[in-house]
Amino acid sequence: MFPLKAAALQISPIFLNRQATTQKIIEGIERAAASDCSLVALGESILPAYPLWLCRTDGARFEADDQKELHSAYLEQAVVVEEGHLDSVLEVAGKLRVAVVLGIAERASDRGNHTIYCSRVFITSDGRIGSIHRKLVPTYEERLAWGNGDGAGLVTHRVGPFTVGALNCWENWMPLARAALYAAGEDLHIMLWPGSQELTRDLTRFVAREARSYVISACGLIREQDLPADLPHRERMCQQGETFYDGGSCIAGPDGQWIVEPVMNREELVVADLDPQEVFRERQNFDPAGHYSRPDVLRLVVDRRRQTTAEYIDERVQ
């Protein structure tokens, strides 16, 4: 079986600018393709940005005009898939034959069009959307910006010799979310993060060892220099030269050892060759969904239906 060349693309967004960030993502995919990568992953909600203002501007104040203004800007720049906001990314992925795992802030047209979800989009190498997973539980202050997701995206996809699954940020701490992907055959796990080695350094290796899978942590960067001068309330969000999210993209092997340690404080394409035989070797003594499982004692039920607030039953007129 042949190795897979895969990468984490660690970049900063053009903050709250969907069009400009999309172009930067496309340029990164082109770099990955030029490096012979068949798979590239980008950080949590990289398009158009992670809502860092919540913890910097007292985001929990009720009926606050500044929070409404910031949320309005976020809604305006969020990704509406049905409106074609990802079409240019799909086109380049298909043209270059690269699968893409992309973190977006999704404005969901199937949920009223005014709620944002922290979503993971899997784009196939022929330029289609394979699945969209909405983060099950936004973490702490994120709940002020993002809605609760569902299990519809707890699926895996085949890329070369690997079966790939992905989760957003602290979902990777959820044992049952991980178990759902293990049971779906996952042997390459992608973690999407806003960016911090405090998040990636321990968990990346732990999950690799638990799953006997390769794990890629894909992170973003957000620095004071990345915030546009006309961003509302910018002066309350940052100090000159400050770094909010400092990267931390890394890759671990199925034995839990580093292939690439966390990359910090710079934009970089983090590349590794992944050998499926290493998964075979490590699963000789432990396979969490196979010979080291006991479905007669312990089983997981996963509801993978897309949740909706209404079901319409219409009488059709002939």
**Angle (deg, nearest 10), helices 197-211 and 175-183:** 40
Whether the CB-CB separation of 15 and 244 falls below 8 Å is answered with no
pLDDT at residue 71 in the model: 96
Distance CA 259, CA 89 (A): 28
In the chain the domains, ranked by start, together with CATH numbers, are 4-282 (3.60.110.10)
pLDDT of residue 266: 96
**pLDDT value, residue 250:** 98
pLDDT digits (tens, 9 = 90+) for 232-253: 899 998 888 999 999 999 999 9
CB distance 131 to 46 below 8 Å: no
Q: Please give the pLDDT value at position 43.
A: 98
| Distance between CA atoms of residues 249 and 286, nearest Å | 27
pLDDT of residue 318: 62
pLDDT at 89: 98
Query: What predicted TM-score, i.e. pTM, was given to this entire model?
Result: 0.96
Residue 1: burial class (beta carbons within 10 Å; 0-12, 13-18, 19+): exposed
Can you give the pLDDT at residue 97? 98
Q: What pLDDT, in 10s, does the model give residues 260-311?
A: 999 999 999 999 999 999 999 999 999 999 999 999 999 999 999 999 999 8
Nearest to 10 by CA among 170, 247, 232, 242: 247
DSSP letters along the chain, please? Answer: ---EEEEEEE----TT-HHHHHHHHHHHHHHHHHTT-SEEE--TTTBT---GGGGTTTTT-TT-HHHHHHHHHHHHHSB-GGGTTTHHHHHHHHHHT-EEEEEEEEE-GGGTS--EEEEEEEE-TTS-EEEEEE-SS--GGGGGTB----GGG---EEETTEEEEEEEGGGGG-HHHHHHHHHTT-SEEEEE-SS-HHHHHHHHHHHHHHHTSEEEEE--EEEGGGS-TTSTTGGGT--TT-EEEEEEEEEE-TTS-EEEEEEESS-EEEEEEE-HHHHHHHTTT--TTTTT--TTT-------SPP-S-----PPP-
* 232 touches 66 (CB < 8 A): yes
CA–CA separation, 185 and 165 (whole Å): 9
Per-residue pLDDT of the chain (318 residues; tens, 9 = 90+): 789 999 999 999 999 999 999 999 999 999 999 999 999 999 999 999 999 999 999 999 999 999 999 999 999 999 999 999 999 999 999 999 999 999 999 999 999 999 999 999 999 999 999 999 999 999 999 999 999 999 999 999 999 999 999 999 999 999 999 999 999 999 999 999 999 999 999 999 999 999 999 999 999 999 999 999 998 899 998 888 999 999 999 999 999 999 999 999 999 999 999 999 999 999 999 999 999 999 999 999 999 999 999 988 987 766
Give the tokens for residue 21.
């960030």
**Residue 23 has which token pair?**
């172009």
Count CA atoms within 13 Å of residue 37 on its CB side. Answer: 24
Strand partners, 132: 121
Closest C-alpha to 123, from 73, 174, 88, 150: 88
Length of the chain equals 318
Q: What is the pLDDT of residue 317?
A: 65
Residue with the two structure tokens 């992907």: 181
